[in-house]
Amino acid sequence: MQLCFAMKANSNLAILRLFSNLGGAFDLVSGGELTRVLAAGGSTSRSVFAGVGKSVAEIKLALEAGVYGFHVESEPELARINHVAGQLGRKAPIAIRVNPDVDAKTHAKITTGKSDNKFGIPLKYAAAAYEAAAKYPNIEIKGVQMHIGSQLTSAAPFVEAVKKVIPFVEQLKKLYGITYFSVGGGIGIVYEDALASGDAAWWSSKPEGERPLTPESYGAALAPLLAPLGLKILLEPGRFLVGNAGVLLSRVEYLKRGSGKNFLVVDAAMNDLVRPAMYEAYHEVVPLVRDSARPAMQADIVGPICESGDCFAKDRTMQTLGEGELVAFMSAGAYGYTMASRYNTRPAPAEVLVSGSRFELVNARENFDAMLAGEKIPGFLKT
C-alpha cells in the first residue's frame, strides 16, 4: 500500500512535511504542487501526477522530478507525454485513469466517476488506450487508476466501482504486467457535529448504518476485493486526513439586527472559505468562549464581501454573540486555504500549525504590499 496524500486539500509546506515524515507521498495536480513537494523535502519518486490538463512544462517538470506515475486522463495526453519523454530521453511511467461510470452519490460539483464528467477514459475505451500506450516508445505502462468522487459517506459506491473495474485490472496485469492499482481518494468526513465527532462517545452513540465512513469500514469493504489482485494499492485521500484537523478562526465585527432577521457579520469571508458559497456546504460554527447562560439566537453568518453569496450559514441557531468575540468555522482544514482567493482585495489569512500545546505560524498573513507587488501602471496610462 502506498499513501499519496491529495495535496489539493491542504498544501501548506508544514502539512506536506508532516506527511512526508510519516512516510507518505503525494497526489499532485500541477507544476505548482510539484514545486511545493520539492520545497517540503517530500518524495517525488513515490508521488503521482493527476489532472486532465497537464501542460508540456508540467510534464517536463514531473519527468525531471521522476514521479512514480502519470495518471493519464485522455488519449491526446498520452501522446503528449510520450513526445515530451522522448525529447528528454526518458521513459514516462503511466497509469490510465478509467472512468467506471458509477454514481458516487455526493455533491454534483465533486462527483467524478460518471461518464458525463470530464475525468478519465470510459472503461469501454480504456483497453484501446492501453493498446496505444503499449505502442509508444517512451511510455512505460505501470498501473491503473480510478477516482469516483469526494466526500463519500458510504463504502457502497467504492465497492461498486472497484467491482466494475477489477476484471479489467486483472486483464491489464496479464497483458502488461502492471504493478499498481490506485483507487483514488474520496473518504468523507463529519461536517455536522464536527466538534463532537472527535469523541469516541459520539461514534458509539450512532447506530450501525448511520456511522460515517471510517478508514476501518472503508478498508474492511475494499481489502477483500483488492488483496487477491496481488498489486500494490495506492490510496489518495485528501479531505479525510486534514479536514477536521483545521479550523478557520474569525472575529465578529457586528451583530446586525435586520428586519425579522439577524446577521452575524464576521471578518472571514467567502474568499477565505468558499465551500458554503460554492457547494452549499455545511460548516459547524463554534464560539471560542461557550457560555450556556446566554440566550440562544438565530442568525445568518455572513462575511464582509459585497455579494449575498458571501454567507457561511443561514438561520443558524447559536449562542448570542457580539462584536469582538471569536468563532471557529470547523472542518476548514481541507479545501479551505487551498481554495482561498483575493476577492475584494482581501489578503490571504495566516496559517498556524498546532500540535498539542505547541503551535507555530506556518504561513504569514499576506500584506497589501505583497498583493500589489506584481502589478504596475503601464507607461501609456501615465500622464
Catalytic residue numbers read 306
Taking the least distance from each CB to ligand LLP, the nearer of 238 and 349 is 238
Question: How, if at all, do strands 262-266 and 248-257 pair?
Answer: antiparallel
Residues 239-258 that bind ligand LLP (CB under 6 A): 239-240
Nearer to ligand LLP, 27 or 33 (CB): 27
Distance CA 75, CA 95 (A): 12
CB of 279 to ligand LLP, least distance (A): 6
DSSP string for 150-192: SSB--SHHHHHHHHHHHHHHHHHHHHH---EEE----B----T
Binding mask 12-51 for ligand LLP (x = CB under 6 A): ---------------x----------------------x-
Distance of closest approach, residue 185 Cβ to ligand LLP, in angstroms? 3
Of 125 and 282, the one with the shorter C-beta distance to ligand LLP is 282
Give me the amino acid identity at 197.
S
Going 190 to 191 to 192 to 197, the CA torsion angle's sign is positive
Q: Contact with ligand LLP (CB under 6 A): which of 3, 7, 9, 59?
A: 9
Q: Residue 240 CB, nearest distance to ligand LLP (Å)?
A: 6
Phi, psi at 204, each rounded to 5°: -75, -15
Specify the residue, 82 or 153, whose C-beta has the smaller distance to ligand LLP.
Answer: 153
Looking at 3, 6, 139, 265, which residue binds ligand LLP (CB under 6 A)?
A: 6
Give the shortest CB-159-to-ligand LLP separation in angstroms. Answer: 17
Nearer to ligand LLP, 36 or 147 (CB): 147
Side-chain-facing half-sphere of 24: CA atoms under 13 Å: 22
Does position 303 bind ligand LLP by CB under 6 A? no
Is 58 near ligand LLP (CB under 6 A)? no
What are the cell numbers at 248?
A: 478557520
With CB under 6 A as the contact rule, which of the stretches 86-94, 133-141, 190-198, 231-239 interacts with ligand LLP?
231-239
Q: Which three cell numbers stand for residue 1?
A: 500500500
Nearer residue to ligand LLP within complex by CB, 50 or 84: 50
Nearest to 41 by CA among 72, 20, 55, 66: 20
Alpha-carbon span 358 to 372, nearest angstrom: 33
Is the CB of residue 140 less than 8 Å from the CB of residue 88?
no
What are the backbone dihedrals phi and psi of residue 256, each rounded to the nearest 5 degrees, phi first? -100, 125
Give the contacts of 75 (CB within 8 A, at least 6 positions apart). Answer: 121, 129, 132
**How big is the CA angle at 142 (ends 110 and 162), to the nearest 5 degrees?**
45
Shorter beta-carbon distance to ligand LLP: residue 181 or 335: 335
Q: Contacts with ligand LLP in 98-137 (CB under 6 A)?
A: 110
346 binds ligand LLP (CB under 6 A): no
| Residue 147 lies near ligand LLP (rule: CB under 6 A) | yes
- Smallest gap from Cβ 371 to ligand LLP, in A, equals 24
Residue tagged 483545521 (cell numbers)? 246
Site for ligand LLP in 70-89 (CB under 6 A): none
Pick the stretch among 73-81, 84-92, 210-218, 232-240 that binds ligand LLP (CB under 6 A). 232-240
Q: Cβ 259 to ligand LLP, closest distance in Å?
A: 33
Distance between CA atoms of residues 125 and 236, nearest Å: 24
- SS in 3 state form for 283-295? CCEEECCCCCCCC
**Would you tell me which residues interact with ligand LLP (CB under 6 A)?**
6, 9, 27, 50, 110, 147, 150-151, 184-187, 236-240, 275, 279, 335
